A and B are shown apart, each in its own frame.
Chain A
Amino acid sequence: MVASPRLLSTRYEVEDERAARELFHEKGWTDGLPVIAPTPERVLSCLDQAALAPDHVIGIEPVRARPITAEKAAVNAVLAGCQPAHFPVVAAVLEAMCRPEFLLHGATSSTGGCAILIVVNGPVRLELGMEPTFNVLGMSDRASAVIGRAVRLVLSNVLDLRPGTLDRSTLGHPGKSGYCMAEDEEGSDWTPLAQLRGAPAGVSAVTVLAAGAPRQIMNEWTTAPEEILETFAAEMRANMLHYSIWGGNYAIIVPKQLRDRLRDAGWGKQHVQQFLFERARVKKRDWTRVGKGALVTVKNGDDEHVALTSPEDLLVIAAGGPAGGFGAVIPPWFGYKSRAVTTGVGVCFAC
């Protein structure tokens, strides 16, 4: 083991890729799937692509004051299968996650078991061949898979967030292996998510949300926007009763079939946000119907709880395959206590 002259990470000499994979598994540095050997050359290529020095601090986890350097992020990105072109997106995601309002430590160590939902907007989606249509929440494309996985490996390896140690998730969910998607900007005339959240048009950006698993809905029996969205509202209300009553950044994914119905009626994202802001509400006494009556009193029974603290809390994402009256609600991990963050890829639009 010797130190590279430019990179500070300890180097291990291995015979070949296979030996590298086994070394990383033995050390507990993987998610269980095969990894790509993070050679100094591959890591430097990632850093060059993002124009970041190895010692550049992408972000600092605020609670434990743990820095994430560009070098360590790049090592894990290579490990996850990233090509150099993917790395600027990974770096932007990590930067966004380190903003205090994201509550990174809580989100990644909580028993609540959320994952980091990543939504990519702008030209970088096309450059990376991201596929925002068929199977968008599953195995849609290479970039989505490796970017999501890279973030997971940074959490595990750089911030020591491994199951049973600092990661105390009771259940977790499949998104913890990678929860990255692109918005279907070409298939929609709605304003892209990042743009609604402050990004200039045409700039690549990522939005991160500490999020639960997607809850799929279906309504193919109406063309009325109010009825379509009432189904989304019902799922949000159900989440407030079954999981957490706290309001915050919910995300909804609206695939093309339902999107077309809304568009035909002249509904844009702001209409959707306003409708769901008004409809996704429960009364505390509703908890008695789901076995949580212990928390309901005569005094608080009429208290109203909102899923969204404002219409803008709702992240409306155009994505999904062209056919099917489906959609998805992605609930926040911990209501308003952890906020979604949007940041530019390789550019600071808030500076």
Chain B
Amino acid sequence: MYVLDPTAEAEPHPVSRAPRLGSLYHRSIGLLSNGKAAVAPLFDHLESLLRQEWKADEVLRRTKGNYSAPAEPDLIRELARCHLIFTGVGD
């Protein structure tokens, strides 16, 4: 007898990786929190490192409106100017 594969079997949409940064020095860095409380102390520390040790030109901290949904389009457009974005999931 034959049985059928129950999985999607479809290739997800191909996504290409952005070029890697050679250095973090003097970059514009985005920190995107999912909105949960535990992200804040982590990002506080990270922002401090980025500013003091890596001389970040800019640290743009933003928070999603709903931690169980994708970031809002306006937020993504605003963060698009950054060279690098860290996302924080506070779970």
CB within 8 Å of B: which residues of A? 4, 7-17, 20, 23-24, 29, 37-40, 43, 63-67, 72, 75-76, 79, 103, 105-107, 109-112, 153, 157-160, 168, 334, 337-338
Contacts and interface: CB of A to CB of B under 8 A. Distances in A.
Contacts of A12: 2-5
Contacts of A110: 68
Interface in B17-62: none
Nearest to A65: B13
B69 A153 contact: no
Nearest to A77: B6
Contact of B8 (A7, A66, A168): A66
Given A75-B6, A76-B6, A157-B6, A16 B1 contact: yes
B74 interface: no
A25 B22 CA distance: 46
Contacts of A23: 3
Q: Which 8 A-B pairs have the closest CB atoms?
A: A106-B68, A9-B4, A157-B6, A10-B5, A11-B2, A75-B6, A9-B5, A75-B4
Given A11-B4, A72-B9, A160-B7, 19 more contacts: A4-B2, A8-B9, A9-B4, A9-B5, A10-B5, A11-B5, A12-B3, A13-B2, A29-B6, A38-B3, A39-B2, A40-B2, A64-B12, A75-B6, A109-B68, A112-B68, A157-B8, A158-B7, A334-B68
A40 to B, nearest CB: 6
Contacts, number: 91
Task: Please report whether the interface of chain B is mostly helix, strand, loop or mixed according to DSSP.
Answer: loop
B11 to A, nearest CB: 11
A7 B66 CA distance: 39
Given A153-B6, A159-B8, A14 B1 contact: yes
A10 B4 contact: yes
A338 B66 CA distance: 11
A239 B76 CA distance: 34
B22 to A, nearest CB: 31
A292 to B, nearest CB: 11
Contact of B6 (A4, A15, A38, A105): A38
Contacts of B13: 65
B87 to A, nearest CB: 15
A158 B91 contact: no
Given A106-B68, A106-B69, A110-B68, A158 B4 contact: no
Contacts of B91: 111, 168
A154 B5 CA distance: 12
Nearest to B7: A157
A37 B2 CA distance: 9
Nearest to A15: B1
Central interface residue in B3, B8, B12, B13, by most chain A CB within 10 Å: B3
29 contacts: A9-B9, A11-B2, A11-B4, A11-B5, A12-B4, A13-B2, A16-B1, A17-B1, A23-B3, A24-B3, A37-B3, A38-B4, A39-B2, A39-B3, A40-B4, A43-B4, A63-B69, A72-B7, A76-B6, A103-B68, A105-B68, A107-B68, A109-B68, A111-B91, A153-B6, A168-B91, A334-B68, A337-B68, A338-B68
